[in-house]
Amino acid sequence: QLQLQESGPGLVKPSETLSLTCTVSGGSISSSSYYWGWIRQPPGKGLEWIGSIYYSGSTYYNPSLKSRVTISVDTSKNQFSLKLSSVTAADTAVYYCARHCSPPVQCFDPWGQGTLVTVSS
């Protein structure tokens, strides 16, 4: 059974870079034609797609965050990562990693448990 687990600091200072890693277990990140994504949920608000990556390294991002986001993959560790620079309080959210469904199906499944990142000095 495929499982995803987010990890990283729970507190980041304003203007610094948020860094999170998603570790995939129960399957290989480089098998089949899956994209892997990051999605966030500010407290009390809805979900927002951040960006996604293919095992080859091909990426696409939400334009509203593109200038600050970098998503990378490490197939040797079966992980993919998120970096969000110049963070502000508005970036405080629960961050989820998820696998895209296998094309042509379009959805996200499964998701990690999520990790709360608070931006505060």
Binding-residue total with another protein (CB under 8 A): 25
Q: In this structure, are strands 59-61 and 3-7 parallel, antiparallel, or unpaired?
A: unpaired
> Looking at residue 10, what DSSP letter applies?
S
Q: Interface with another protein includes 107 (CB under 8 A)?
A: yes
Q: Which helix (H) or strand (E) holds 49?
A: strand 48-54
Distance CA 117, CA 12 (A): 7
Of 15 and 116, the one with the shorter C-beta distance to another protein is: 116
Contact segment (CB under 8 A) with another protein among 19-27, 71-79, 85-93, 100-108 equals 100-108
Interface of this chain with another protein, residues 25 to 54, rule: CB under 8 A: 37, 39, 45-49, 52
Distance CA 68, CA 46 (A): 21
Among 31, 63, 67, 121, binds another protein (CB under 8 A): 63
Among 88, 106, 120, 121, binds another protein (CB under 8 A): 106
